[in-house]
Amino acid sequence: MSPRTGYQYLEPQALARVANLSVVARGVVEGFIAGLHSSPYKGFSAEFAEHRKYTVGDDPKHLDYRMLGRTDRLYVKQYEEETNMRVRILLDTSGSMGYSHDGKLTKLQYASYLTAVLSYLMTRQQDAVGLTTFDTQIRLDMPERSSPRHFNEMMRHLEAITPGERTDVAETLHRLANRFKRRQLIVLISDLYDDPDEVLRALHHFRHRRHEVILFHVLDKAEIEFPFRDVIAFRDLETNERLQVDPAYVRDAYVEQVEAFIETYRRACAEARIDYVMTDTSVPYDFMLSQYIAKRHKP
């Protein structure tokens, strides 16, 4: 796949900066993903993916003779290969993900860029990537595939996503954990605006079923630092409720609660052997990803 993408959420400049991260699917998770599959490639499976033209050296048993009869040309049937990894990206598209304090990048857009670059790097290595988006319900559910055609479809769906309804992170994760029978790497990208105890129980559900988990916790910088000075009316993006606040009276308590909120996830994820990555939308996603991978590679 070429870095000249034409996809909204796949920037050539960012791909150039993470070009040395072709090991992302190995380097990030090699240490804890080993054993999900007993061998890197097991040849052709039973699941047909697409055709390509025959080239010298291809195994003749994979020739499609029906295509030969229709087109008078040789085509080989390509199948989804068994890969080292099956990756499922769970993208929170609830209303709160549509927030942006400075009017530039919303949390959902940031998360979409991250989803795109991770999918690109993994697909390039023949890892099978699936995408599930959700708010109170599952809105998109694409199975794990490793073909360029599947990646193209994933990017098109990603570009059409808009913030949805209320958050129901925990219940959605429980439903998915019950449904995913095959061990895989779960990548959750969310602002985690739900009861932390319930969300953590749902993450434990994945671990109980022997999935590996990486959690990207995405917030807006203003949600962390609360930079507001004048009396302001806040609107809940999920309930549309409004609340007028004098920042001078609530800032200290607010910041303390946010820090506790983040620390709860950081500590609990460490105990559950879940990789927890906290970031905000002011940090370039490719830089954040590079830092994370560098940390994973430290001896």
Domain ranges of the chain: 12-35+85-297, 44-81
Q: How far is CA 166 from CA 44, 92, 237, 265, in A?
A: 42, 10, 8, 21
How many other β-carbons are positioned within 10 Å of the β-carbon of residue 69?
8
Residue 7 has which token pair? 């996809």
Tell me the residue type at 286.
D
In this predicted structure, what is the pLDDT of residue 181? 86
Which one, of 143, 140, 91, 144, lies nearest residue 115 by Cα?
91
Q: Running DSSP on this structure, what letter comes out for residue 159?
A: H
Q: Which option is the CATH number for 12-35+85-297: 3.50.30.30, 3.40.50.1360, 3.40.309.10, 3.40.50.410?
A: 3.40.50.410
pLDDT digits (tens, 9 = 90+) for 28-49: 444 433 333 333 333 334 455 5
Please state, in angstroms and rounded to a whole number, the distance separating the CA atoms of residues 10 and 60: 37
Instruction: Tell me if 191 sits within 8 A of 96, measured CB to CB.
Output: yes
Which one, of 3, 80, 84, 78, lies nearest residue 286 by Cα?
3
In this predicted structure, what is the pLDDT of residue 236? 72
pLDDT digits (tens, 9 = 90+) for 84-123: 578 999 999 999 999 999 878 999 999 999 999 888 878 8
In this predicted structure, what is the pLDDT of residue 222? 93
Q: What is the pTM of this model?
A: 0.77
Please state, in angstroms and rounded to a whole number, the distance separating the CA atoms of residues 190 and 170: 11
Instruction: Tell me if 15 sits within 8 A of 121, measured CB to CB.
Output: no
